[in-house]
Amino acid sequence: MNRSTSFDWDYKNPHILEFQVLKENIDVLGHVNNKVYLDWCEIVSWDHSKSLGISPQTYQDLRCACVVIKNKIEYLGSLFENDSILISTWITKTDSRLKLSRLFQVIRIEDNKTVFRSNVDYVCISLDTYKPIRMPDLLKKAYKITIN
């Protein structure tokens, strides 16, 4: 099954990872805790960055990183223990100077339902001063818009 075309993704060519909801992901209300979605998105974000040639070591070598400055989250359904999900990401915007944006989408495999969506804005900062700086050429080339 082609996971990029068999599901109702918001855009073409998603970068996808599959997850299984575990008991430790469940909160006192009996469903996946809100913060778990953010942890999963971080894993997918790093996996996507690595596929583009950017690793945590790259950030250390360049002495800069793209950090979250804004996150618009939509919880559209609930997930429960043993649910299988796909999480996708795309780079949706970049000014190729300071900022870029990503979209994350979580789909429950069983019914192809989007249960979570997050639009995240990042800014490039210096790891020495923690102030915004221009993206180095390596980041500009790697973090291009991936929607079409």
Q: What is the CATH number of the domain that holds 115?
A: 3.10.129.10
Residue 57 lies in a domain: yes
Count: domains in the chain: 1
- Rounded CA separation 143/35 (Å): 25
1 falls in which pLDDT band (50, 70, 90)? low
Position 147 scores a pLDDT of 86
3-class secondary structure per residue, 30-93: CCECHHHHHHHHHHHHHHHHHHCCCCHHHHHHHCEEEEEEEEEEEECCCCCCCCEEEEEEEEEE
Chain segment 23-55, per-residue pLDDT in tens: 999 999 999 999 999 999 999 999 999 999 999
- Rounded CA separation 62/102 (Å): 21
- Rounded CA separation 120/36 (Å): 16
Residue 110 lies in a domain: yes
Locus of tokens 């915007």: 93
Cβ partners under 8 Å of residue 129, min gap 6: none
Chain segment 113-129, per-residue pLDDT in tens: 999 999 999 999 999 99
Residue 1 lies in a domain: no
- Rounded CA separation 40/94 (Å): 23
Residue 80 lies in a domain: yes
Residue 147 lies in a domain: no
Residue 5 lies in a domain: no
Mean per-residue pLDDT of the chain: 96
Asked if 94 and 144 touch (Cβ cutoff 8 Å), the reply is yes
Residue 49 lies in a domain: yes
Chain segment 59-114, per-residue pLDDT in tens: 999 999 999 999 999 999 999 999 999 999 999 999 999 999 999 999 999 999 99
Residue 148 lies in a domain: no
